[in-house]
Amino acid sequence: MHIKDRRAFLQLMAAASAGMLAPAVLRAQQGMEQFYDLPAFGNVSFMHISDVQAQWKPVYYREPAGQMAIAALGATPPNVSGDALLQYYNLMIGSAQAYAFSSADYAAAAADYGMLGGIAHLASLIGIVKRSRKHAWLLDGGNGNLHSSAPWATADGANAVHHALGVNLGLPETMHIQIALAAEDPDSAAPTQVRGAQYPCIAHNVFDPVKEKPLFAPYILHKHNEITVAIIGQAAHNELFTRDRCDPNAMLNASTGVTERPIMRLGERELQRSVNEVRKKGAQVVLLLSRAGVDADLQLAASVTGIDVILGGRSATPLPEPILVSNNKGKTAVTNAGAQGRFLAVLDLDVGKGGLVDFRYNLLPVVAAFVQADSRMTKRVDEAYATANANLSEKIAVTEGLLYRRGTFNGTWDELLLQAMLQHSGAQIALYPGYRWGPTLLPGATITREDIINQLALGDTQMCSGAMRGRDIHVLLESAAQALFSPDAYMRSEQDMLRTGGLQYRVDPDQEQGKRITNVMVGNQPLQADEKYDVATWGLAVPFESEQAVPADATGANDETKTTRSVESNDTVQDGVTTGKSEDMPAKTTDIMLDVLLSYLRQQNTIPGIETYQPQIVRRKPQA
């Protein structure tokens, strides 16, 4: 039965329970065994998580509502969202799956089902799956703690949590790459076990920047039930590596002394060689554990042959079902496990002598109300939080509307951050990348210090301000649009569009690079190429016109500052930025983004409902 009316569904669920019970209560009473009952299938199984992002407690997270509006290829995954996603996958309105995968009727569904994720709930769900799949490996797609400055996510705390989760194999975290760079031995073979990692790490595409020697083993051969499965690792090829974006010249990691960036590329030929190699060594099934992003994975699956399943991450775009991609020698199933510990993927393989015969894939939402938290993991999380040097539960403000991060152009959390930046800096324009992480707050919720940290902890901590020429602002917009809409999926950044405050623009996704952004307005005036504008940025290395003050320490612990000349951006979404000679402007100091947002929220006290800015989308090319 496919029920399109949410109210009818809730009434049906209440009647079925022989009482007036909300769905979450009903499911909790029925127990984990029913909602998460996955009959065993095949002869080898794997579990997959990705992008936990140090989000160790359950969260609300609203999926995007307007992805299909900017998709030139039409409403197909991964560019389908909201009601269209429910129709595409035939998901029942009011169901837990509809709530987890779609923004449709989000606030009401969130009130019914509660939060998703939580590392202790995830640990329990892993245990449930292992009851019928005792030897199933848990694979981690990386970004479990990437760039986190959250006070509870110390290295020791993160290691303890990941160790307790029972990961068997994963992609290297930034910390692991930095350690491998610092300890690289030119005469040694690339290892799978890296100092500081709680599990073996693999990546076929991470190289030493001097000799281009692999820093990690490219793959591992896993044998179970007389079956050989090859798992190849693929790190993100265009993910940012440094935290302090106010100073692009800052060392990548002062504790290790690493000053060089690793070479991380996405090469189809190199990957094809690895696939061919493992096949020659007897692999009956080939899995690719990937952080390229779902768009790049789809393009790669059409070009590289011999991969059976791609277990993807990074995009924060959970795919309810695999996408089957045809290539010259067969088909590859492309999956994506979402982010923030809100999903657990289960892959069951039926493998014969000739290779993969059939498979089953289930992406399970981790509904906290359906799963009892694992007590040992809860203790570890509590211990990690106890080390936090801040009152995380401190009440800062109240929101009257829904605060969410994810959206192609802007979310309500983004609007709030941009307004705080504009007010604090006095700038005309505020800019920062379209980050996809950051939990949602429901209408009427109290905004705590922890909520604010969750919006800021996984990126850059400094707000920078200075003068920029109009032409450079336009180039930033064009570069961000290229990273979002490029016909070559390998060039996309897996971020949403640059977040903008104080300016408006038109965008044509189908135009070529450099011609997508038009009619840029600052206030009610057109952007002038040669004019200087006061700009506040966060998470961007931009061509400010003058010497600017930058922090000596990315955490803000050191109040001393130094000055640096403007340099070209090393940000993925800004490859086209160029700078020229210009007269000096007065230097401006940087500010801690946490302080900026805390100050703004305390002044406002109550945050009314926020309208998000959406640029005018035009399409001059005929649609297919």
Burial class (CB in 10 A: 0-12, 13-18, 19+), 584: exposed
Same domain? For 359 and 476 the reply is no
In a shared domain, residues 354 and 401 = no
Q: What percent of the chain has pLDDT over 70?
A: 79
User: For residue 276, is pLDDT > 50?
Assistant: yes
Whether residues 172 and 213 fall in one domain: yes
Beta-bridge mates of residue 119: none
**Calpha distance 283→227 (Å, rounded):** 8
Cα separation, 154 vs 456, whole angstroms: 16
Residue 494: which region, alpha, beta or left (left: phi > 0; alpha: psi -120 to 50)?
left
- What was the pLDDT predicted at 94? 87
pLDDT tens, residue by residue, 477-517:
999 999 999 999 999 988 899 999 999 999 999 899 999 99
What pLDDT is stored for residue 578 in this prediction? Answer: 26
217/235 same-domain check: yes
What local confidence, expressed as pLDDT, does residue 191 receive?
A: 62
Q: Is 47 helix (H, G, I), strand (E, B) or coil?
A: strand
What's the pLDDT at 189? 55
| Under 8 Å between Cβ of 110 and 60 | yes
Token code pair at residue 12: 């049906």
Q: Is the pLDDT of residue 572 over 50?
A: no
Q: How far is CA 137 from CA 212, 321, 363, 388, in A?
A: 31, 20, 16, 32
Residue 545's pLDDT is: 83
In this structure, the answer to whether residues 280 and 188 fall within a common structural domain is yes
What is the model's pTM? 0.86
| Cβ atoms of residues 227 and 135 within 8 Å | no
β-pair partners for 323: 334
Q: Which helix (H) or strand (E) holds 290?
A: strand 285-290
**pLDDT of 547 above 60:** no
Q: How far apart are CA 545 and CA 430, in angstroms?
A: 16
Tell me whether residue 559 is in a domain: no
From CA 71, how far away is CA 294, in angstroms rounded?
A: 14
Q: Are residues 209 and 315 in the same domain?
A: yes
DSSP class of 189: P
Measured from the Cβ of residue 504, the count of other Cβ atoms closer than 10 Å reads 16
Q: Is 573 part of any domain?
A: no
Domain contains 556: no
Q: Between 65 and 46, name the one with better pLDDT.
A: 46
For residues 334 and 312, is the Cβ–Cβ distance under 8 A? yes
CA dist 539 and 240 (Å) reads 10
Indicate the number of domains in the chain: 2
Rounded CA Rg of the chain: 24
Is the pLDDT higher at 355 or at 543?
355
Task: Please tell me the distance from the alpha carbon of residue 457 to that of residue 474, in angstroms, as a whole number.
Answer: 28
The predicted structure's pLDDT at residue 557: 32
For residue 209, tell me if it sits in a domain.
yes
Confidence of residue 334 (pLDDT cuts 50, 70, 90): very high
Lowest mean pLDDT of 110-124, 219-233, 383-397, name the range: 383-397
pLDDT at 407 over 70: yes
CB burial of residue 18 (10 Å; 0-12, 13-18, 19+): exposed
Mean pLDDT over 59-69 rounds to 81
Name the nearest CA neighbour of 332 among 350, 346, 311, 351. Answer: 311
**Is it true that the peptide bond before 78 is cis, omega within 30 degrees of 0?**
yes
Q: Mean pLDDT of all residues in the chain?
A: 82
* Percent helix / strand / coil, the chain, rounded to 5: 30, 25, 50
**Which amino acid, residue 247?**
D
Residue 370 CA to residue 28 CA, distance in Å, equals 5
Last residue of a domain, one of 335, 366, 384: 384
Could you give the CA distance from residue 143 to residue 351 in angstroms, rounded to a whole number? Answer: 30
Q: How far apart are CA 247 and CA 245, in angstroms?
A: 5
Residues 355-388: tens digit of each pLDDT: 999 999 999 999 999 999 999 999 999 988 888 7
pLDDT in tens, 193-221: 655 567 899 999 999 888 888 899 999 99
Q: What are phi and psi of 383, to 5 degrees?
A: -65, -40
Interval 306-313 mean pLDDT: 98
In the predicted model, is pLDDT for residue 146 greater than 80? no
Judged against a pLDDT cut of 50, whether residue 115 lies above it is answered with yes
Report if residue 15 sits inside a domain: no
Angle between helices 155-165 and 375-386 (to 10 degrees): 170
Return d(Cα 300, Cα 293) in angstroms, integer: 10
In a domain, 16, yes or no: no
CA distance 380 to 294: 32
User: What CATH number corresponds to the domain at position 523?
Assistant: 3.90.780.10
Domain identity same for 349 and 284: yes
In the predicted model, is pLDDT for residue 551 greater than 50?
no
In a domain, residue 172? The reply is yes
Domain boundary among 334, 356, 384: 384
Q: Are residues 380 and 400 in the same domain?
A: no
Mark whether 227 and 290 lie in a shared domain.
yes
- The residue assigned the tokens 């992480």 is 437
Contacts of 539 (CB under 8 A, 6+ apart): 245, 432, 433, 435, 459, 460
Predicted confidence (pLDDT) at residue 5 exceeds the cutoff of 80: no
In SS3 terms, 403-460 reads as ECCCCCCCCHHHHHHHHHHHHHHCCCEEEEEECCCCCEECCCCEEEHHHHHHHHCCCC
CB 321 within 8 A of CB 361: yes
Residues 377 and 397 in one domain: no
Distance CA 399, CA 403 (A): 8
Range of the domain at 377: 40-61+116-384
Given CA atoms 113, 117, 123, 129 in this order, what sign does their dihedral have? positive
CB-based contact 374:582 (threshold 8 Å): no
The answer on 417 and 337 residing in a single domain is no
The single-letter DSSP state of residue 602 is H
Q: Within this chain, do residues 374 and 475 fall inside the same structural domain, yes or no?
A: no
Of 4-13, 461-470, 567-576, 611-620, which gets the smallest average pLDDT? 567-576
Task: Let me know the angle formed at the C-alpha of 402 by 396 and 406, rounded to the nearest 5 degrees.
Answer: 105
Does residue 572 fall inside a structural domain?
no
Q: What is the pLDDT of residue 458?
A: 57
The last residue of one of the domains, among 332, 350, 384, is 384
The yes-or-no verdict on residue 285 having pLDDT over 90 is yes
The CATH number given to whatever domain includes residue 145 is 3.60.21.10
* Helix, strand or coil, per DSSP, at residue 29: helix
CB contact at 8 A, 63 and 81: yes
